[in-house]
């Protein structure tokens, strides 16, 4: 990678992180706007990836289903949001019946479910910002450490047929960093357990890297390098948010096992 390309990656990363942190902090409405921007780009990239289409009826249904799901979740109706996604997936399945049907309708769930989870967490009581911030910091720490460890130590490949550059050293380094990030995060949340958040960090870090591999497998299946060129130096939103997708879904499972009535508190503190 040349210096100019590296500079583009760094500038893009700083800009994206700053925007994400600011909009997440400012409140539920700015965060909703952030999510809607991200999911719209992801829907377009998904259609471009699996159907080589920049604009078609399937994309319209895809975007509308995800937007409706996000809106319902923002007004405290995440279950109805999930129903909207299922309806959208069914419609897309019929529109693409016998022609890349699974690849198209699965995208509705892939983009929509983590969006529901993140909005659900952010809009829940006083701990919403902290819960979303935990997920973001863990995923970012994991991505950065995995890249650094893989470049530094190298070694056996994690899944060479799918992603020839990823190594076991990178995977381990990323997971360890995610656990450390969770433990450190607990120091800034009154009453949080460092051990609990370290374990959550390990879990989120592990699945975030599996999400990265899954998206790499998808791109390989359709013989593309990047989902798009929307983010200078990084590819597309699908490329940058693949780990966040699976980490958000894992966070939802943790909440389901703890406290559905107060999801952010359930993630950070466990059962009441």
Tell me: pLDDT of 138 over 90. yes
**pLDDT band per the 50, 70, 90 thresholds, residue 98:** low
Percent of the chain with pLDDT over 70: 96
Q: Is 125 left (phi over 0), alpha (psi -120 to 50) or beta?
A: left
Torsions phi, psi of 73, nearest 5? -65, -35
pLDDT grade for 264, boundaries at 50, 70 and 90: very high
**Contact criterion met (CB below 8 Å) for 138 and 182:** yes
Which residues are CB-contacts of 61 (< 8 A; sequence separation ≥ 6)? 88, 91, 92, 95, 108
Look at residues 148, 159, 135, 101 and name the one whose alpha carbon lies nearest to residue 252.
Answer: 135
Cα 110 from Cα 89, distance rounded (Å):
10
> What does DSSP assign to residue 83?
H
Instruction: Confirm if 21 and 216 have CB atoms less than 8 A apart.
Output: no
What pLDDT, in 10s, does the model give residues 189-222? 999 999 999 999 999 999 999 999 999 899 888 8
**Amino acid 242: pLDDT:** 92
How many angstroms separate the CA atoms of 78 and 266, rounded? Answer: 16
DSSP class of residue 56 equals -
Report residue 200 CA to chain centroid gap: 16
- How far is the C-alpha of 18 from the C-alpha of 16, rounded, in Å? 5
Distances (CA, A) of 56 to 44, 80, 210, 236: 10, 26, 30, 20
Q: Checking phi first, is residue 156 left (phi over 0); if not, alpha (psi -120 to 50) or beta?
A: beta
What local confidence, expressed as pLDDT, does residue 80 receive? Answer: 97
Q: Does the pLDDT at position 28 exceed 80?
A: yes
pLDDT in tens, 225-259: 888 888 776 788 999 999 999 999 999 999 999 98
DSSP conformational letter for 164: E
- Residue 209, number of CB atoms within 10 A of its CB: 26
Tell me the C-alpha distance between 233 and 14, whole Å: 12
Q: Any idea of the CA torsion for 24, 25, 27, 30, to the nearest 10 degrees?
A: -40
Task: Specify the pairing of strand 157-159 against strand 163-167.
Answer: antiparallel
Predicted confidence (pLDDT) at residue 47 exceeds the cutoff of 60: yes
CA 211 to chain centre: 8
């Amino acid at each position: 990678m040349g210096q100019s390309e590296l500079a583009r990656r760094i500038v893009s990363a700083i800009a994206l992180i700053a925007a994400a942190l600011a909009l997440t902090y400012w409140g539920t409405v700015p965060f909703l706007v952030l999510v809607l921007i991200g999911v719209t780009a992801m829907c377009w990239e998904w259609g471009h990836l699996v159907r080589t289409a920049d604009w078609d009826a399937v994309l319209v249904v895809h975007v509308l289903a995800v937007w409706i799901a996000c809106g319902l979740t923002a007004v405290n109706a995440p279950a109805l949001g999930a129903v909207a996604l299922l309806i959208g997936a069914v419609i897309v399945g019929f529109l693409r019946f016998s022609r890349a049907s699974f690849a198209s309708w699965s995208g509705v769930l892939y983009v929509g479910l983590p969006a529901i989870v993140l909005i659900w967490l952010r809009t829940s009581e006083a701990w919403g910002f902290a819960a979303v911030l935990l997920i973001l910091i863990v995923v970012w720490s994991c991505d950065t450490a995995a890249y650094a460890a893989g470049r530094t130590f190298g070694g056996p490949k994690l899944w060479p047929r799918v992603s020839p550059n990823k190594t076991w050293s990178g995977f381990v380094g990323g997971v360890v960093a995610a656990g450390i990030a969770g433990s450190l995060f607990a120091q800034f949340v009154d009453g949080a357990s460092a051990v609990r958040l370290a374990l959550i960090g390990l879990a989120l870090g592990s699945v975030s890297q599996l999400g990265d591999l899954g998206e790499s497998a998808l791109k390989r299946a359709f013989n593309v390098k990047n989902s798009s060129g929307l983010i200078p130096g990084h590819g597309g939103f699908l490329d940058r948010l693949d780990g966040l997708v699976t980490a958000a879904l894992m966070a939802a499972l943790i909440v389901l096992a703890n406290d559905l009535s107060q999801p952010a508190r359930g993630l950070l503190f466990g059962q009441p």
